[in-house]
Structures are given as structure tokens and as C-alpha cells.
Amino acid sequence: MSQPVVISGFPSSNRVPGAYGEVLTGQGGQSAASLPKKLLVVGLPTAAGTITPDNQIVPVLSTADADNYAGPGSEGACMLYDAISIAGLAGVPLYYCSAKPAAGATAATTNVRFSGTATAAGAVIVRINGTVISQGIAIGDTAASVAANLALTVQGFKGGRMPVTATNATSYCTLTSRTAGQRGMQHVVFLDVSQMPAGITATLYRTWAATTTYAIGDQVVPLATPNGFYFRATAITTGTSAASEPTWPTTIGQTVVDSGVTWTCWGSTATGNVPTTALFLGNATGLETYTNLLLTLFSQSYDRIPLAANDATSLGAWKTQVDQLMGAPFNYLQHVIVASNGTQAAAQSLAQTTLNDTSFQFLWMLNSETHPSRIAAAMAALRALSEQSNPNASYDAAILRTVAPQSQPADWPTLSVLISAINNSLTPVSSWRGDGFAKVERSITTKSLTNGAADYSTIDTGMRVVPDFVLTDGKLYWQSVIQPNNPVVQDDPPPGQRQPPSGVITPSRMTSLYMGKLTQYSQGVLSSTPVSGSATIPPICLAPQPGDVQSVFDPAGVRIMMAENVRVMPINHQVGISVRQL
């Protein structure tokens, strides 16, 4: 006798017409190909943006739309630029929304300091968000003129769409995130002095020195024990440092008095080597909350959501809502993509502890020059484009063409680091092969634990996307084929009795029809009835086995309840070859 089929959130008391369903991942077996994947970009605007934060969701068709709604060069606009380039121009529907920026938020900054006068011609080179900006230096140029020229070049670069603004004061060029808030401190600035001419120098920071005169705006790193942070002179009395090094704080915003100089812990250093130095922009405050925006989105469904936020509080709020809306009666099968360019430990804590969820993907690229929000946007756009035609798409070594490669070999992950990242909920993006591209190592969900034990039953994103497709396609098949041709329903007649006439759907007929659909999926056929169709992609699931579809009649609800086992076709990730010379 068949077991009762129970769908959480779909009790017998619900008698509203419609198709209801659920996806149970990791069940040992669980697109609608004609439905476009809707892409919702969630990132902060600047004051120049016309979006109404928390309340408005707008379609975006062009970079001009991105500039209009989010403000040129803002976090949200930069994410939209990349999403448009990868998917929007290919026809993927693109939308934008934002939470309200935090009240009193401040923007992250750092300084490029110049000194001396050029006695030869050359150039200073900075890379911001992976974009190379070269400023020529002529004989006789002073530190002040070079700082001013660099600021003008950065300010107007890419038509004012750079994610930072630039100003100058005396011999400093100050770079400031266009978007206020803590995530501005995830922007990386590289300074390349390989073409600096004689007579003039450029630095992001110097190593602290005893009894040395400093000015406000100077930046240093510790001498004896570098701690991963850099410090800015924010107040001076005599301006001269002490004879011995101070005890440096390790919390951004904290200060330490060094005789005649007060240093503020300003930001983090990034991996770099001579002739290149690198810093994260520093000392920003403000973190938006998502309560109101999530209320607005509660009645909306989008397929792929690149989210700029990558802090535990924001991710926790999104996880709660996405998981709630996944089940019946909503069936919002949404996938949220986020990213980090910080340490593996910090990224892993967010991916595996805060999330650990099949609806989320967390990309990690150590010291990426591309802001994490843009990495998320690039991956989400690629997924929206690829999974439109193939729910079980593989992204092994997929190039994220809007993401800058890691320029420093010290940042390239070793094989052991990649193994650790993938086994602990992270999707690594790296340039470790040295081929000049940012590549996805393996596209996985953040689900890797069940009750503290390893659980890789939905490790690949396709292992979650395929069941989503089966449910969506199954609902559409019921609505467009089964219900119109079978306006009435009844239980299977007892053995020996006549089968009901056509136009009556029964559990056994339902089982047969959906077994046909699973068979088609196992043959790479996505768009047709179960009696015809041609393969368009590789199989997305294994051939169904007897009993993989079970249908029973629910007399209380007067309906058929059905359960499907879907075994997602494994992606061919690896091969082992032993070559033995005899």
C-alpha cells in the first residue's frame, strides 16, 4: 500500500485551486525551459540615485538606467554594469532594488602620498577594482602637481563610473569609495611604482620609523610586528614619533598616541610585493538593515539574487526569508549569491555557519581587486544565463570576465586550500594557474553540514537547481496540460473495476504522466509533453526507477498528492589516471 504524501504548508484544509509543491533536497532523488530567469541586483545607491530604497524595485535595461537609479559608480550601479554585460544584453530580465543606506554612514578612504620633484619622465600606476589607471609624470612635476593630476584622471575615468572618487590636498591623492558604508573597506587599491621617475616617490604607506616627522594623512605599517593593518596620522602635536614603537591596535577606528603623533587604525593591508603595494580602503562606518526591503520583497519572486551584503546579520535575515518562501504555498525558488575577498576563515564562517543552505552560494577570492559585490553579480548573471537552458550547468573553470584576476601569486590558492574551501561551503574563484583570468573552481551551494556532520548531497548548485526545475516544470505541466484535459479527479477504482473515461485524472494516470516527464529529463528533453520531444542538453537526471513517482488520492482535500524521486545527473568534475611504465 502506498504511503501518504504530505507536503508541508499544504494541508487538506487548503482548497484554493492551483498547483502546490515543495523541493526536498538531499532526498537521494528529486526548468521550465521556456521561463526566463529573473535577476535581481541588490546593492546600495549613492545620493545621486533615484531609486526609493526599501520600497522600489525597478527594471534595468541599460547602463544609463543603472546610473539613473543607483548613481554612477555606486555599489549597485557597478553590480548592474557587470550583470548587464554578462546577461542583460543576452535577454535576461534584470531588476534592481536597495535597502536604505545606514544613517550617518561614512565612506572608506586611503591616501596615495607623493614627495619630491621629478628629474625624469615616467608614470605612476594605480589599479582600482582591477582597472589600471596610469598618470604620466613630466620632468619638473612636483609632488603636489602629480597628486592633483592623478586625482583629476581618476575622477573622470570611465566617464565618472569608477567606484571611487579622488581629491588632492598638497602632496596627497585621497581615494574615497563612492558608496558610504562598511563594504567600502572591501575595495582594494594597488600602487605600482615600477615606472616612477627619479626624484619623486609614491607610497600608499611607509614602515613606521622612530623619531621621524609625520604629517596628518601619512600612513604607516608596524615595523617590528606587522599585524595586517595600516595606520593613518590623524592628529599631531610636535609631529615626531617616539623613540620606541607603540603598541598598535587591531580594531579599525581605534587610536594610539605615539609621542607627537596620534595614529588611527585605518584599514587592512592586502598581499603585495615589490614594486607593488596594496591596501583595502579604510575607516568606514555604517551597515544597512534589510527588514523593510525584505517586507517589500515578500510578495515578489526572483530566480537569482546577487547580494552586496556579506555580513552575518544581513545574511541571516535573507536566509530566514528565502527559506520561508521556498516551501508551499509560495514556492519562490530563489538562489542568493554573495562573495568575499577577505580571509578564508572569515568567509567560511559566513558560508558554513551563518548560511549552510542550499539556496545560497558564497564565492571567495582572496584579496580580489574586484569588489565582492561585483563578483556576486558576475556569477549570478552567468548562472541566470546558463541555467535558463541547462539546470545542471557546470561552471568548472568558468571565466568571470568582469572580474580582475589575482595579480599576486601569493594570493593564488594551493590545492589544499581549494580542497578545504570546497569542503567547507565556499565556491573558490582564483587565478592560480597564472593564465590571467578569474575562474570559478567549482560552483557549489553553502550546504555542507547536517547536524554538524558533513553532508554533500547538494554540493553542486545543479543538485538544487534541477529539483527546482522539476517542480516548476511539473506545476506548469499540470496547469497547461493535465488540468485542462482532465477537469475532474477521482481515486483509482478497485481492482477489477472499469477504469474511468478520459477527462478524469487518477493517481495511477498521474504517476504514469510524471514518470514520462522524468524519463524525458533523463534523456535531455526539457520542453515537450511526455510523448514527444528532442534532446537539447545532456541529461539532467538519471532514468527513473519503479516507484520513483508515487501518487495517492487525498479524500479530505479531494485531490491527488504526488511525490517524485529525482536523482540529479552527476557532473563530470574529475578523473584519476595512473600511467604505469612497464
Rounded to two decimals, the pTM is 0.93
User: What percent of the chain clears pLDDT 70, i.e. is strictly above it?
Assistant: 96
pLDDT tens digits along 140-160: 999 999 999 999 999 999 999
Residue 205: which pLDDT band, with cuts at 50, 70 and 90?
Answer: very high
pLDDT of residue 408: 87
Query: What are the Cα distances from residue 34, in Å, to 105, 326, 390, 525?
Result: 43, 21, 11, 13
Q: Cell 550601479 appears where?
A: 77
pLDDT of residue 19: 81
Q: Cell 620609523 appears where?
A: 209
Cβ-based neighbours of 483, under 8 Å, separated by 6 or more: none
Average pLDDT over residues 99-128: 97
CA angle 488, 490, 492 (to 5 degrees): 140
| Dihedrals phi, psi of 169, to nearest 5 degrees | -145, 115
Selection from 121, 118, 274 nearest residue 204 by Cα: 274
Q: Cell 565582492 appears where?
A: 372
Selection from 352, 270, 344, 350 nearest residue 307 by Cα: 350
For helices 63-70 and 75-86, give the axis angle rounded to 10 degrees.
Answer: 160
Sequence-ordered alpha helix ranges (H) in 343-460: 344-348, 372-386, 415-423
Over its C-alpha atoms, the chain yields an Rg (Å, rounded) of: 28
Sequence-ordered alpha helix ranges (H) in 461-544: 461-477, 483-485, 507-521
Give the mean pLDDT of the chain. 93
Other C-beta atoms closer than 10 Å to the C-beta of 106 total 16
Residue 432: which pLDDT band, with cuts at 50, 70 and 90?
Answer: confident
Q: Which secondary-structure segment (H or E) carries 58? A: strand 58-59
User: What percent of the chain clears pLDDT 90, i.e. is strictly above it?
Assistant: 87
> For the chain, which residues make up each domain, given as ranges?
1-30+490-582, 39-101+288-454, 109-280
pLDDT tens digits along 260-315: 999 999 999 987 655 678 999 999 999 999 999 999 999 999 999 999 999 999 99
Q: What is the torsion angle, in degrees rounded to the nearest 10, for the CA atoms of residue 318, residue 319, residue 324 and residue 327?
A: 120
d(CA 280, CA 271): 10
| Dihedrals phi, psi of 7, to nearest 5 degrees | -115, 120
Phi-psi region of 396 (alpha: psi -120 to 50; beta: other; left: phi over 0): beta
